[in-house]
Amino acid sequence: MTRKSKKRRRGKRGKSGRTSSRPASMRKLAQAGYEVRAFEISDEIEETYKPGIAEEMADATLLLKTGHLIEARDAFQSIIQREPQIREAYANLAVAYLQLGDQEAAEALWREAIDVFPRYVFPRANLAQRCLRRGRVDEAESLLKPLEKVRRFHSGEFRFYVLTYSDVLAAQGNYAAALSWLNLLSKALPRSPGVWPRRVRYWIGRLLHRKQPSQSQMG
């Protein structure tokens, strides 16, 4: 069974999140050393399943959504054991682990998924979010680094990637770039969840950052 993309959005962006509709800004980004690359966002991705696996994935996902966590966990484990190339099974199994309170198992599974699918957004972004919560900003940035080579995103992956990378930029004090990424996401995927709370937080952070006295002023 093969699923193909129905809707696609194209654009260009740099690390600041400016789009190709503003060429002057893009020139400034290039002059500042930012990489500008084309990307494609689709609402569905091509995925080939062996006969019967699509139905198993749907059934396991329904178990997860309806709170049958142990059954969902067992179902996704079975799918991965037989079909280790189905990356969505790893993502959903990690969700089951988290909802069962086993964060250690979820993180171990994300790292396993990264080894199997080096450019899969969800395990990298999930681990990066946990690094940020623990104050390990450099590690979070390193986890996202390989995704700079990705040219085509599923819409859900792109949303999570942008939100997570903007969080990394904000943690580094680069609020202007973080806000630019949020602007990019709002243009590419309007009404994306998570944008406005971050936008307010980054605005406040940028304001406080500007008000901090420099070391020279402090003597």
Q: Are strands 152-154 and 47-48 parallel, antiparallel or unpaired?
A: unpaired
Instruction: List Cα–Cα distances, 41 to 105, 150, 185, 191, in angstroms.
Output: 31, 11, 11, 15
What is the per-residue pLDDT for 100? Answer: 98
> Do residues 181 and 165 make contact, with C-beta atoms less than 8 angstroms apart?
yes
Instruction: List Cα–Cα distances, 66 to 26, 103, 153, in angstroms.
Output: 46, 20, 28
- Strands (DSSP E) contained in 53-134 are none
pTM for this prediction: 0.79
Provide the residue ranges of all domains of the chain, joining segments of one domain with +: 50-117
Tell which residue, 112, 217, 212, 124, has the closest CA to residue 165: 124
pLDDT in tens, the chain (219 residues): 434 444 445 444 444 443 344 433 344 334 444 455 667 888 875 667 788 899 999 999 999 999 999 999 999 999 999 999 999 999 999 999 999 999 999 999 999 999 999 999 999 999 999 999 999 999 999 999 999 989 889 999 999 999 999 999 999 999 999 999 999 899 999 999 999 999 999 999 988 877 666 544 444
- Superfamily holding 50-117: Tetratricopeptide repeat domain (1.25.40.10)
What is the per-residue pLDDT for 5? Answer: 40
Q: How far does the chain reach from its first CA to its final CA, in angstroms? A: 68
> Do residues 131 and 139 make contact, with C-beta atoms less than 8 angstroms apart?
yes
What is the per-residue pLDDT for 82? Answer: 95
What is the per-residue pLDDT for 51? Answer: 84
What is the per-residue pLDDT for 48? Answer: 72
What is the per-residue pLDDT for 133? Answer: 97
DSSP code, position 43: S
Cα separation, 134 vs 128, whole angstroms: 10
Cα separation, 107 vs 70, whole angstroms: 18
What is the per-residue pLDDT for 214? Answer: 52
For 151, residues 6+ apart whose C-beta sits below 8 A from its C-beta are: 37, 38, 39, 40
What is the per-residue pLDDT for 208? Answer: 86
